[in-house]
Amino acid sequence: MDRRQFLTLSPDRQKRPFSVTGRTGSGLNPYTGNWTDLELIHLLKRTLFGVNPATYNAFKGMSMQQAIDTLLTPQSIPQPPVNNYGIDDTGVTPGATWVKAPLGDEMLEQKRIFSYKAWWTGQMINQQHSIHEKMVLFWHNHFVTETSMVRDSRFIYQYNLTLRQYALGDFKALTKAITLDPAMLVYLNGTLNSKGAADENYARELHELFTVGKGPDSHYTEDDVRATARVLTGYRVDRTTITSKFDTTQHDIGNKQFSSFYQNKVISGKTGTDGMSELDDLLNIIFLQPEVSKFICRKLYRFFVYYDIDAATETNVIAPLAEIFRSSGFDIKTTLNALLCSEHFFDPLNMACLIKSPADFCIGICREYNIAFPTNYPDQYAAWMVIQSRADNMLQNFGDPPLVAGWDAYYQEPAFHELWINTDTLPKRNKLSDGLISNNGINNLKIDVLAYAGSLPNPEDPILLIDDVVKLLYRVVVSDNLKAFLKNSILLSGQSPDSNYYWTQAWNAYIASPTNATLKENVETRLQALFKYIMNLSEYQLA
């Protein structure tokens, strides 16, 4: 497959009806087609970071709705990150959590931020059978903060908890919580916003990036930004209690006038602690604007379905989905359920059409192969950090998107997800997969090909083995010629095509005597060659 094919690949592209004026004419109607491995794995690949045989088996007997209900079940709040860095002048002992500790000096805070990034990577690697963890990443890309600018590790952790708490809940409530979140107040200068000197930084992003967006029908004005900034004057952070607070002496008590885009609403200025209620008034005004639901639904669509929203998709998917979002009271779970249950989501043209993000690639490869991580916390955090740093090198640094708008690949027209792949990042992806499949692995992390093959239903049958492998690792239906090549040239090392019994005998001999080094090496080296070849093909980059 050449690069053009790789970046434009979509199954059944030639089968598209000529009557369809958009990329596809499917809409938000409930999907009633076949519920096979193809549809199940597509659903799992889009909602989870990678699919291993155990995950596939857990969902295999479920109906579509049962699978989606399971995926939309929120996860519990995980245990907080711990001191994996050693000396802590504030008294946090090794192995104890630092999230409620006093603020450290610059060097200590940087160590804690590394601890946080490793911890968060670990949460993604240990994702349960739930979309929750992927939604935390989605909202991080939406309500962006950067650790390099916040610098207070405790605020950064609290921000992550805020995303987790509301990830599948009420978007309006999430917006309010983020507005008052200490990390966001620091990041977008909320702490500098005072009467007589209103700082418009957060106010502008609240409209442009967080709620109504800057689409063709979004017409908020500069006066709206100024009025919003005045509403939000007076909020500060308390680095002792690790919370936000409201300074009544710094709140602008004047009336705030909004434009016709917001129905010329006026927020009456309030004094004392009543000034805090102006935030609710502000959100009520903003959330009456239909563009809020459309903007968020477009972002959900680009994250979980496809980056290109043409006129047909806008009419058939975005508009009705936005109506569901509004009528549900901005309930994220209800909206995701409608999208994931739709005929559009399972449209063949929406399968294998996304390039994996670095998160999907790096976290996914760990989960797909069920790579073993250390259980003692110092080595565990170090191993998690290896994966975090690899994703960073591939342009996705968890905790530090490049801009307040998030990672380019999620919004930058016209390339979108194609930006993940370039002459620098693709070799890094191949280097990671090659290293993990090698005998030495990477920093004690290694793909156990014997365990992976053994978790499949028929590892002794070379034909069925390859069928199962490509079914789980690829999102495109590969040709019989490629399967034959994988079997004959890779797994059987060029032996006669009808010598399937050779592999069967070799595998069964190893199973009968797993401590025999020669028998083990015979099957392990062949499996390593097989998986290395599979992961080096362009098809492995597609989700």
pLDDT in tens, the chain (543 residues): 443 344 444 444 334 433 446 789 999 999 999 999 999 999 999 999 999 999 999 999 999 999 999 999 999 999 999 999 999 999 999 999 999 999 999 999 999 999 999 999 999 999 999 999 999 999 999 999 999 999 999 999 999 999 999 999 999 999 999 999 999 999 999 999 999 999 999 999 999 999 999 988 999 999 999 999 999 999 999 999 999 999 999 999 999 999 999 999 999 999 999 999 999 999 999 999 999 999 999 999 999 999 999 999 999 999 999 999 999 999 999 999 999 999 999 999 999 999 999 999 999 999 999 999 999 999 999 999 999 999 999 999 999 999 999 999 999 999 999 999 999 999 999 999 999 999 999 999 999 999 999 999 999 999 999 999 999 999 988 999 999 999 999 999 877 656 778 899 999 999 999 999 999 999 999 999 999 999 999 999 999
Nearest to 330 by CA among 166, 132, 141, 177: 166
Residue 32: closest CA among 347, 381, 391, 356: 347
**430 within a domain of the structure (yes/no):** no
User: For position 104, what pLDDT does the model report?
Assistant: 97
DSSP code at position 357: P
- Secondary structure (H, E, C), 171-213: HHHHHHHHHCCHHHHHHCCHHHCECCECCCHHHHHHHHHHCCC
Nearest 10 degrees: CA dihedral of 425, 428, 433, 435? 180
Q: Please list, in sequence order, all residues whose beta carbon lies within 8 angstroms of the beta carbon of residue 154, skipping any fewer than 6 positions away.
A: 98, 99, 100, 101, 103, 112, 242
Instruction: Supply the pLDDT for residue 370.
Output: 97
Could you count the other beta carbons within 10 Å of the beta carbon of residue 18? 5
What does DSSP say about strands 235-238 and 243-246: parallel, antiparallel, or unpaired? Answer: antiparallel
Report if residue 268 sits inside a domain. yes
Dmax over CA atoms of the chain, in Å, equals 86
Query: Could you give the angle at which helices 53-60 and 462-473 cross, rounded to 10 degrees?
Result: 90
Instruction: Compute the distance between CA of residue 291 and CA of residue 222 in angstroms, rounded to an integer.
Output: 17
From 269, 291, 313, the end of a domain falls on 291
Alpha helices in 474-541 (DSSP H): 480-485, 500-512, 517-536
Using CA atoms of 107, 110, 115, 116 in order, give the dihedral in degrees to the nearest 10: 150
Name the DSSP class of 403: S
Residue type, position 366, single letter:
C
Residue where a domain terminates, one of 274, 291, 308:
291
> Which pLDDT score is estimated for 22?
77
What's the CA gap between 254 and 534, in Å, rounded? 64
The answer to whether residue 193 is domain-embedded is yes
Q: How far apart are CA 532 and CA 447, in angstroms?
A: 10
Helix axes 132-142, 106-125, angle to 10 degrees: 140
What separation in angstroms does the CA of 55 have from each of 202, 348, 455, 527, 541? 41, 23, 11, 21, 20
Structural domain of residue 509, as residue ranges? 448-541
Tokens matching residue 189: 């200068």
Indicate whether 334 belongs to any domain: no
φ and ψ at residue 237, rounded to 5 degrees? -120, 150
Torsion sign (Cα): 323, 324, 327, 332:
negative
Whether 337 maps to a domain, the answer reads no
For the record, the structure tokens of 344 come out as 């559009």
Match 């916040």 to its residue by tokens.
150
Report the pLDDT value the prediction gives residue 501, as an integer from 0 to 100.
86
| SS3 label, residue 449 | helix
Q: Which of 236, 268, 291 is a domain's end point?
A: 291
Residue 89 DSSP class: T
| Structure token digits, residue 61 | 């007997």
Q: Which two tokens stand for residue 94?
A: 């090794």
pTM, 2 dp: 0.95
CA distance 364 to 50: 4
In the block, residue with structure tokens 């935390």: 136
Instruction: Flag whether 353 is in a domain.
Output: no
CB 294 within 8 A of CB 318: yes
Supply 473's token pair.
């690792």
Cα torsion through 291, 297, 299, 305, rounded to 10: -150
Can you read off the two tokens belonging to residue 233? 């004057």
Structure token pair of residue 89: 């002048």
| 191 is a domain residue | yes
Beta strands in 106-263 (DSSP E): 235-238, 243-246, 256-257
Number of separate domains in the chain? 2
Task: Tell me the two tokens of residue 178.
Answer: 């983020």
Cis peptide before 414 (omega within 30 of 0): yes
